[in-house]
Amino acid sequence: MEDITLINVTKRFGKILAVHDVSLRIFRGSLFFLIGPSGCGKTTLLRLIAGLCDLEEGDILLGSRSIKDLPPHRRDTVMVFQNYALWPHLTVYQNIAYGLEERKVKKGERHGLIEEALQMVRLQGYEARKPAELSGGEQQRVALARALVVKPKAVLLDEPLSNLDARLREEMRQEIKRIHEETGITMVYVTHDQKEALTMADYIAVMNRGRIEQVGTPQDVYHHPANLFVALFMGEANLLKGRLEKVNNLHGYVVTPLGTFRGKLAKEGMIAGQEVTMMVRPEDLKFHGVGENNIVGKVEKTFFFGATEQVILSGYGYSFKILTLSGETKKEKGQKVAVSFKSDRTILFPAEENP
């Protein structure tokens, strides 16, 4: 296995700049997610790696070897499509065998490789079935087996679970994670689903308007977002505008209509007097005790989500979302409450950032 390296990659469709000067290193053996809103360029980037789009500028390396001019079947990468792309007239066995036939693998070697792939995706005994006889999750497993059977250097997955219902999606997340851990193969996975990325990825690249906004572990991009766009895209957030009063190393104090709060500075070079946007996640607001930062307000609404509840707190024309475990604390509408939150979970972004 080898790293995949993108160097100043650019792709246009007419006047639309789909991918703009992207440089990125995808570590070998990692489960690497490309995530972003619709139209951000993530699928185009995946197709450029696969060789399904012509590269206009830049280079793509597999290890130290440039693959930008190679056709898809010579790149040692395999694409798993959103719609599975199974041949409806072929059996499961024949669908999996297709890639081996294309690569002219000897007939005597094919059966063992196909059986190994079927075992990997837990579909032993399904060899004679046609795609129409399979559930959506089973069809996706066949598509994965077809990709794995040719022993590629990397598997490229384009929103592979988007056509499945919620229960099957959860099952297949676990299956893909298991397969990745057992094979150690490099996987590049495109999705717009934050939960999918946060629960499965080793690394996440957040894209916006054809550019990479941030690359990091799930913990990095969620708890330490590079900018306000990443913060809002990766999860719910409470925002409050204010002005920096004091800067102390990596922290600052922000004056807002609800009081003065301490938080981490999102960027170097931020100075006192600067307008900022304060961000804190709903789960980081706590009802119990007095902390570094405190807000008082009234309960406006409560939403029940099963294992968790979301409380909407309002005061002085502002509202905050608080996420708690169900039954952890019972709050009535109109009840006056105090919440606290830690400065290390409070991030101060320059106000001029427009997510």
pLDDT for the residue 187 = 97
Q: Which residues of 272-300 are buried (b: 16+ CB within 10 A; e: fewer)?
A: eebebbbbbbbbbbeeeeeeebebebebe
In a domain, 355, yes or no: no
CATH number at residue 296: 2.40.50.100
In a domain, 247, yes or no: yes
Residues 11 and 25 placed together within one structural domain of the fold? yes
Cα–Cα–Cα angle for 18, 159, 138, rounded to 5 degrees: 155
Residues 191 and 262 placed together within one structural domain of the fold? no
The predicted-structure confidence for 62-112, as pLDDT tens digits, reads as follows 999 999 999 998 899 999 988 888 999 999 999 999 888 888 888 888 999
Residues 223 and 257 placed together within one structural domain of the fold? no
The predicted-structure confidence for 291-318, as pLDDT tens digits, reads as follows 889 999 999 999 999 999 999 999 888 8
Q: What does the alpha-carbon distance between residue 335 and residue 259 come to, in Å, rounded to a whole number? A: 20
Residues 126 and 210 placed together within one structural domain of the fold? yes
Residues 150 and 123 placed together within one structural domain of the fold? yes
Q: Structurally, how many domains does the chain consist of?
A: 2
pLDDT for the residue 329 = 77
Counting as low any pLDDT under 70, the low residues of the chain are 1, 353-355
> Left (φ > 0), alpha (ψ -120 to 50) or beta: where does 259 sit?
left
In a domain, 45, yes or no: yes
- Domain final residue pick, 231, 263, 285: 231
pLDDT for the residue 278 = 97
> Left (φ > 0), alpha (ψ -120 to 50) or beta: where does 184 sit?
left
pLDDT for the residue 327 = 80
pLDDT for the residue 354 = 63
pLDDT for the residue 276 = 97
In a domain, 23, yes or no: yes
Residues 160 and 285 placed together within one structural domain of the fold? no
pLDDT for the residue 105 = 86
Residues 215 and 308 placed together within one structural domain of the fold? no
Whole-model pTM? Answer: 0.91
pLDDT for the residue 206 = 98
H or E segment to which residue 280 belongs: strand 275-280
CA nearest to 29, candidates 174, 165, 203, 258: 203
Residues 223 and 266 placed together within one structural domain of the fold? no
Residues 203 and 154 placed together within one structural domain of the fold? yes
CATH number at residue 118: 3.40.50.300
pLDDT for the residue 106 = 85
Rg of the chain on CA atoms, in Å: 24
pLDDT for the residue 242 = 96
Residues 37 and 154 placed together within one structural domain of the fold? yes
Task: For residue 253, give its domain range.
Answer: 237-350
- Domain final residue pick, 203, 231, 259: 231
Residues 73 and 194 placed together within one structural domain of the fold? yes
- Domain final residue pick, 171, 198, 231: 231
Q: Which residues pair with 5 in a beta bridge?
A: 25, 61
Q: Terminal CA-to-CA distance of the chain, rounded, Å?
A: 37
Residues 197 and 320 placed together within one structural domain of the fold? no
Q: What does the alpha-carbon distance between residue 342 and residue 338 come to, in Å, rounded to a whole number? A: 14
The average confidence (pLDDT) of the chain is: 93
